[in-house]
Amino acid sequence: MSIMQVIVASGEIDPAQSQNWLLPATSEIIYGGLASIIIFSLLYKFAGPALKKGLSDRTARIQAELDGAANAISTAQADAANIRQAAGDIDAERARLLAEADAQAAAILSDGRERLTVEIAELEARAESDAAGLSGRLNDELRVEVARLSSSVVDEVVGRSIDDATHQALIEDFISKVGAGS
């Protein structure tokens, strides 16, 4: 048998049993209360500042996130306004660029036409001068050829049928006709 069973059997009070169903023994209330006060005061002294610091850090972090979100929202709204404005500016810029391109195209076209007109006039003048030069050269070559052929024909004809006096008269007559034709 154990000691507890002996004491309970002898009729003495069981220390594991309380006298009141609601409250513990007075000594337990005193020792438990003092221990609780000591623990709570130590927690308040040492854990309290760390808890306050942790809560203030958490509050500051949450506030920083809220401020960052507000800044991001304002930045996004400003960017959206800039994009909307740029979209309007893009239409105006596109119209300006198209007008400028049309003006440049018209200037290039008129410049090209002027250059072509000048070049055509130069080519026509060159062609006319070449034609005049060729005409004069062809006339000269034709005269030389006619003179050569007539000289050979005349020599042959004259040699057969014409005497020297007639021959001389024919040559002078031919020379005067060729000179009058030029």
- For the chain, the domains span 33-181
Q: Provide the terminal-to-terminal Cα distance of the chain, rounded to the nearest Å.
A: 171
Give the number of other CB atoms < 10 A from CB of residue 171.
Answer: 15
pLDDT tens-digit map of 80-131: 888 887 777 777 888 888 999 999 999 999 999 999 999 999 999 998 888 8
Alpha helices, H only, the chain: 3-10, 26-42, 48-161, 164-181
* Cα 2 from Cα 16, distance rounded (Å): 14
What does each of the 182 residues of the chain score in pLDDT, given as a tens digit?
455 454 455 556 666 666 777 777 788 889 999 999 999 999 999 999 999 999 999 999 999 999 999 999 999 999 988 888 777 777 788 888 899 999 999 999 999 999 999 999 999 999 888 888 888 888 888 888 888 888 787 677 656 666 777 778 878 888 888 777 65
pTM for the full predicted model = 0.34
Rg (alpha carbons) of the chain, rounded to whole number? 66
